[in-house]
């Protein structure tokens, strides 16, 4: 019975993304008492559908890992989702607005993983030891739900609002940085919108990747060598409009830009 509902939720959210339309949240339409475990089961089915269509996973991603995000979204628990190859936008490239519903942008630090990381019990220091490079990123989130309004299970089922990602060109060794102190600014059309530092993400962005490894361990899964992982937004997300020029600057990691076309 429940598995039928979970399948319906995955179909509903895939259709919303493909048809580029916002939908009523699944906790309202299908199951008011949807649990976090059931929501991750729905996410897994959604991810499997994309794999079956031939899309490839770039890596898992973390979300809701900073106070700025908790305050903005009203949900204060870290979650994960998955980034796919079709979601990549070139640095300096164009994000076609017509492909999306109501996109927002956020600045993040990404980790390119050099060795498998298997929880439980993983720490930030262990993550740093197994990270090949860090790179700056702008994530474009696009909740499939009306007005980005959701509960924790809703957003988990919706693959953590994942939609598009722009990675910067800089690949730096994590040992060259104190990631807590890496500052980031997010500007649109030359106007500063948000700013923060790595410490906003669970005290240190590597802690976020450690939490991910420990969450994946619950389902017998792990972070894999070669995964490129977003550690979660440092600041609140900012709404995008056609014509926007978006720039994220990261101390020591350079600039990431795109144009909303
Ligand atoms: C959920 C996705 C959160 C982040 O970095 O916090 C996320 C949302 O805010 O819609 O990607
Ligand atoms: Mg994000």
> 139 pLDDT exceeds 90?
yes
Mean pLDDT of the region 76-99: 98
pLDDT at residue 78, as a whole number:
98
Burial of 242 (0-12, 13-18, 19+ CB in 10 A): exposed
> 217 pLDDT exceeds 80?
yes
Question: Using one digit for the tens of pLDDT, what is the confidence trace for 59-79?
Answer: 999 999 999 999 999 999 999
Q: State if residue 232 touches ligand 1 by the CB under 6 angstroms criterion.
A: yes
pLDDT band for 26, please (50, 70, 90 cuts): very high
The Cα–Cα gap between 61 and 28 comes to 26
Mean pLDDT of the region 182-195: 98
Q: State if residue 208 touches ligand 1 by the CB under 6 angstroms criterion.
A: no
Question: Using one digit for the tens of pLDDT, what is the confidence trace for 219-232?
Answer: 999 999 999 999 99
Ligand 1 atom nearest to CA at 232: 5
Mean pLDDT of the region 128-139: 98
Q: Which ligand is nearest to the CA of 150?
A: 1
Mean pLDDT of the region 85-95: 98
The Cα–Cα gap between 238 and 188 comes to 9
pLDDT at residue 93, as a whole number:
98
> Has the ipTM of the complex gone over 0.85?
yes
Q: How many residues does the chain have?
A: 261
The Cα–Cα gap between 221 and 119 comes to 8
Mean pLDDT of the region 72-96: 97
The Cα–Cα gap between 161 and 232 comes to 12
Mean pLDDT of the region 54-62: 98
| Eight-class DSSP state of 136 | E
- Whole-number Å distance, alpha carbon 53 to ligand 2 midpoint, is 24
Give the whole-number percent of the chain exceeding pLDDT 70: 100
Place of tokens 């923060």: 196
Q: Could you tell me which residues come within 8 angstroms of residue 16 by beta carbon, excluding any fewer than 6 positions away?
A: 22, 23, 101, 144
Question: Using one digit for the tens of pLDDT, what is the confidence trace for 166-176?
Answer: 999 999 999 99
Q: Is the full-model pTM beyond 0.90?
A: yes
Q: Identify the structural domains of the chain with CATH numbers, from first to last.
A: 2-260 (3.90.850.10)
Q: State if residue 139 touches ligand 1 by the CB under 6 angstroms criterion.
A: yes
Ligand 1 atom nearest to CA at 233: 5
For residues 20-47, b (16+ Cβ closer than 10 Å) or e, as one string?
A: eebbebbbbebbeebeeebbbbbbbbbb
pLDDT at residue 99, as a whole number:
97
> 1 pLDDT exceeds 90?
no
> 245 pLDDT exceeds 90?
yes
Ligand 1 atom nearest to CA at 72: 9
């Amino acid at each position: 019975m429940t598995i039928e509902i979970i399948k319906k939720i995955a179909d509903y959210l895939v259709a919303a993304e493909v048809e580029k339309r916002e939908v009523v949240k699944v906790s309202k339409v299908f199951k008011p008492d949807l649990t976090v475990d059931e929501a991750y089961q729905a996410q897994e089915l959604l991810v499997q559908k994309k794999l079956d269509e031939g899309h490839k996973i770039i890596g898992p991603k973390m979300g809701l890992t900073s106070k700025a995000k908790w305050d903005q979204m009203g949900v204060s628990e870290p979650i994960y989702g998955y980034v796919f190859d079709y979601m990549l936008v070139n640095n300096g490239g164009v994000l076609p607005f017509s492909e999306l519903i109501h996109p927002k942008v956020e600045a993040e630090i990404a980790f390119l993983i050099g060795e498998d990381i298997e929880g439980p019990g993983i720490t930030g220091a262990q993550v740093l030891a197994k990270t090949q490079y860090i790179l700056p990123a702008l994530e474009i989130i696009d909740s499939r739900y009306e007005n980005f309004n959701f509960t924790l299970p809703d957003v988990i089922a919706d693959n953590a609002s994942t939609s598009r990602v722009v990675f910067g060109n800089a690949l730096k060794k994590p040992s060259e940085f104190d990631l807590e102190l890496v500052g980031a600014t997010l500007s649109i059309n030359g106007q500063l919108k948000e700013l923060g530092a790595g410490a906003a993400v669970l005290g240190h962005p590597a802690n976020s990747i450690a939490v991910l490894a420990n969450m994946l361990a619950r389902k017998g899964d792990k972070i894999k060598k070669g995964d490129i992982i977003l550690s979660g937004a440092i600041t609140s997300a900012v709404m995008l409009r056609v014509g926007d020029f978006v720039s994220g600057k990261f101390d020591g990691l350079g600039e990431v830009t795109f144009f909303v076309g």
